Amino acid sequence: MARYNINDLFLEIAINENFEEKVKRLINDGIDINRFKEENLNFNPIMFASYRGWLHQVKFLVEHGADINLRNQNGENALMASCMDRPSFVTFELTEIDRKKLQYATKVLADEYKKYRKESIYLERREIMKYLIEKGINVTDLCESYGFINQASALDIYMLNPYMNDLSVIDLLMSSGVPLHNSPEELYSHSTAGTALSLTRKLNYYNRRKNK
């Protein structure tokens, strides 16, 4: 029986100190690298790393057996996770863990959240999307719901993210076959006064590119 559980893996991904060595130890001990964690948006490790914008961890997990095409109960996959705007408050339900290690992990996550609204944190997300697409992720997957929308693709989710405004991401997703599943009217129904400007800019670019 494995001495570690899925919480340990999430913790090591977050700490990012001697990441490779520690995760290899967990994998060798028999941990399921593809297991979903019911808390924290019901993500598995590859979705968690994609969501946080950690390209190095994403590549390492894939190289060691992470299945990029697994979907959670809502139908979300790692590509969708890399497009999301909701901050992730990660909890670790670990017993007998070293106090200093836990405090350090908490500090790392707090520091990451402070940077959350800065555009720079999203730069690696685009590279993650590109990497996942190159590795063959199912680009046409739809999740069951996203906010008030019944179904959504990765492109729909990106359109609704007011903090990611890199138009080259739209090029990447469109050229890779990711559909815009919802109409502009449906997307606007999910937006707010604070996000409508970003959505308008991205939809205008999408329409210009589509009509070329």
Question: pLDDT grade, residue 10 (50/70/90)?
Answer: low
Q: Per-residue pLDDT tens for 161-180? A: 888 889 999 999 999 999 99
Within a 10 A sphere around the Cβ of 131, how many other Cβ atoms?
19
Q: Any idea what the Cα angle at residue 195 is, between residues 194 and 199, rounded to 5°? A: 150
The whole-number pLDDT of residue 135 equals 97
What whole-number distance in Å separates Cα of residue 87 and Cα of residue 66? 23
User: C-alpha dihedral over 58, 61, 63, 69, to 10 degrees?
Assistant: -80
Distance CA 100, CA 108 (A): 12
Q: For 15-24, 30-39, 80-89, which range has the lowest pLDDT when averaged over its residues?
A: 15-24
Question: Average pLDDT over the chain, rounded to whole?
Answer: 79
Q: What is the mean pLDDT of residues 154-158?
A: 96
Alpha helices in the chain (DSSP H): 6-15, 19-28, 45-52, 55-63, 78-81, 99-114, 123-134, 154-159, 167-175, 184-190, 196-210
Terminal-residue alpha carbon distance, the chain = 58
**Pairwise CA distance, residues 41 & 49, whole Å:** 13
**20-25 long-range contacts, CB within 8 A, separation 24+:** 20/60, 23/60, 23/61, 23/64, 24/64
Question: What is the reported pLDDT for 20?
Answer: 76
Confidence class for position 39, pLDDT limits 50, 70, 90: low
Q: Is 143 helix (H, G, I), strand (E, B) or coil?
A: strand
* Confidence check: pLDDT of 157 > 50: yes
| DSSP string over 51-92 | HHT-HHHHHHHHHTT--TT---TT---HHHHTT--S------
pLDDT tens-digit profile of 70-120? Answer: 999 899 999 999 999 754 434 434 444 444 454 555 455 545 544 444 444
> Residue 71's pLDDT is what?
93
Residue of 13 and 157 predicted with greater confidence: 157
- 3-state class of 21 per DSSP? helix
pLDDT of residue 54: 83
Percentage of the chain surpassing pLDDT 70?
72
Sole residue written with tokens 């109409």: 183
Residue 152 has pLDDT above 50, yes or no: yes
